[in-house]
Amino acid sequence: MSRKSDLEESWRRNAENWTRAVRDRLIPSRNAGTDAAIVEAIVRRKPARFLDMGCGEGWLCRAVAEKTGCAATGLDGTAALIEAARAADPNGSYRTLSYDDVIAGAPVPNAPFDVIAFNYALFEEDIVPLLRAAKHLLVDNGVIVIQTLHPDNDPGDGTDGWREEDFAAFENEAWAKMPWYFRTTESWETVISDTGLSFELVEFPRVGSAGDPLSLVLTLTANE
């Protein structure tokens, strides 16, 4: 199987475990500050329309809608996660759509958006076509917000390449391994330049003012 199909299969198999991990707050980095960081990066833009790509079970849509009153839309390629999102938020807008569907021009409900987020949801080697497609779903002055692993926290050798998440931190549960592509800071710069987007803000949320970085949060604009 290809890495792409392994990745899709991992989320199909992990959907129930993932929903439990998020909702029971079993992910320490999220409790330490990454959830708060992505919510803050989105809410400060005061979006009227927000799109969460790779929304999973939908927590970020629910959090942003609650804080801003915006119309939040969630897309994810994993049908079971979209079902979980709808069950938790029956009046919300959630759609099973893969990134390939979006790249191919599938209609995205409620577009265009003031803010589009990818919260730990970019795993493929070539993400340029997806980010270009997302850029076309923005209003003028809209932004794309990406939260991802901080490059210092690479479990590998610090150069671009494929890694494998085995979810070993979640003991006693059967998880399917997920392939994901690590990129360095320089590689992120190249990707963003290739999309035609520009960096508006680059943030490194930490625990306290001197703690290790928890993640990398990029706010990207389509403006030149």
Q: Where do contacts with ligand SAM occur on this chain (CB under 6 A)?
A: 7, 11, 22, 54-56, 59-60, 76-78, 81, 98-99, 119-121, 123
Closer to ligand SAM at the Cβ: 23 or 44?
23
CB of 223 to ligand SAM, least distance (A): 25
Closer to ligand SAM at the Cβ: 165 or 223?
165
Q: How many residues in total does the chain contain?
A: 224
Closer to ligand SAM at the Cβ: 55 or 192?
55
CB of 140 to ligand SAM, least distance (A): 26
Closer to ligand SAM at the Cβ: 22 or 115?
22
How many angstroms separate the CA atoms of 60 and 190, rounded?
Answer: 28
Is the Cβ–Cβ distance between 198 and 224 less than 8 Å?
A: yes
Closer to ligand SAM at the Cβ: 32 or 210?
32
Per DSSP, the residues of 28-95 read: HHIIIIIHHHHHHHHHTT--SEEEEET-TTSHHHHHHHHHH--EEEEEES-HHHHHHHHHH-TTSEEE
Q: How many C-beta atoms surround the C-beta of residue 8 within 10 A?
A: 17
Closer to ligand SAM at the Cβ: 7 or 222?
7
CB of 14 to ligand SAM, least distance (A): 8
CB of 104 to ligand SAM, least distance (A): 12
Is the Cβ–Cβ distance between 41 and 63 less than 8 Å?
A: no
CB of 81 to ligand SAM, least distance (A): 5
CB of 53 to ligand SAM, least distance (A): 7
How many angstroms separate the CA atoms of 100 and 43, rounded?
Answer: 28
> What order do you get walking across the sheet with 198-203 strand by strand?
93-96, 71-76, 49-53, 113-119, 138-148, 216-221, 198-203
